[in-house]
Amino acid sequence: MSNRVHRFSFRVAVLALCAATGMTATSVVAQAAPQKVSSHKVAVKKVVVRQSAASSKPALKVVVKAHAQAQDANKQGFPVREAARSNGNQVAANPTNFEALKLTQVKDLPLNPERAGIPTAERIPLEQEKRRQVTAELQGLLVDLTDLRMQTTEAHWDLVGPLYLPVHEQLGEFADRYAKYIDRVAERSLSLGYSVDGRPQTVVRTSGLPIFPGGFVRDSEAIDIITDRLDTTAVRTRARMKRVSDLDPVTENMLQDIIEGLEHDLWQIRVHKQ
């Protein structure tokens, strides 16, 4: 803390001398450097003495006052602000009084008496058994959406044929949208107090979608495959929505949004064959 105060007071002195004498900061510092002093405090004094003939008395008073304020702040244990307030020839360091920043501890928290017995870390409005059933459906949906995104991305990469460009770009947009669905489903499960499992091994083992073929895929075949995957995922998600409708209307609404997006993409991809 002491070194910081001395460095600050040295900078204040340099600025004040520059304003009073018209010298540049580089010139002032250069005249102090040959002295090889070990303390910024001594350096400030030497610069002040060296420039006393050319400096006005008000400027010297500012230097002495700023240095004294910095020393007082250091003795009191207050940190000095890194930047000084400048107003004409007046430069001052303002100490911060941390006594006014102390927090008061509330003895009796104003909590809802009907929920006060539930620990803070366990405050989830939906009943535990309903949450267990809902998050089981969300885990299955997360796996289906993860597989759908991976297969859509694979078709986006390995696509060939005369419709390459429009279908390639379309599939890329689909994959980006499914990534957002996955994140939304995962966060809904976490908000209900349950973790999610999107690991590749889990996706391969529990996904309800057929495996995507390897190698290059012609545009017409990719359209058929992605249409099938979208249709399958939408049907499975509709079934999940029905199962959670009586358990959690909030999750049901989220599934409605996802189904709307899936069926929109299903329309967009199947029209290539119409």
pTM assigned to the model: 0.62
pLDDT at 13: 66
Query: In what helix (H) or strand (E) does residue 153 lie, and over which residues does it extend?
Result: helix 128-158
Q: Tell me how far the alpha carbon of residue 59 is from its chain's centroid.
A: 47
Output the tens digit of pLDDT for each of the chain's 274 residues.
Answer: 555 655 666 676 666 666 666 666 666 555 555 444 444 444 444 444 444 444 445 544 544 555 566 556 555 554 444 444 444 455 555 666 666 667 677 777 778 888 888 888 889 999 999 999 999 999 999 999 999 999 999 999 999 999 999 999 999 999 999 999 999 999 999 999 999 999 999 999 999 999 999 999 999 999 999 999 999 999 999 999 999 999 999 999 999 999 999 999 999 999 999 9
CB atoms within 10 A of CB 42: 14
DSSP string, 231-252: HHHHHHHHHHHHHHTTT-HHHH
Q: In CATH, what number does 127-273 get?
A: 1.20.1260.10
Coil vs helix vs strand at 76: helix
What pLDDT is recorded for position 115?
A: 84
Residue among 245, 129, 138 nearest 191 (CA): 138
Domain ranges of the chain: 2-99, 127-273
pLDDT of residue 42: 45
User: What pLDDT is attached to residue 229?
Assistant: 98
> Percentage helix, strand, coil, to 5, in the chain?
70, 5, 30
pLDDT of residue 235: 98
Token duo for residue 267: 């329309």
Per-residue confidence (pLDDT) for residue 195, from 0 to 100: 97
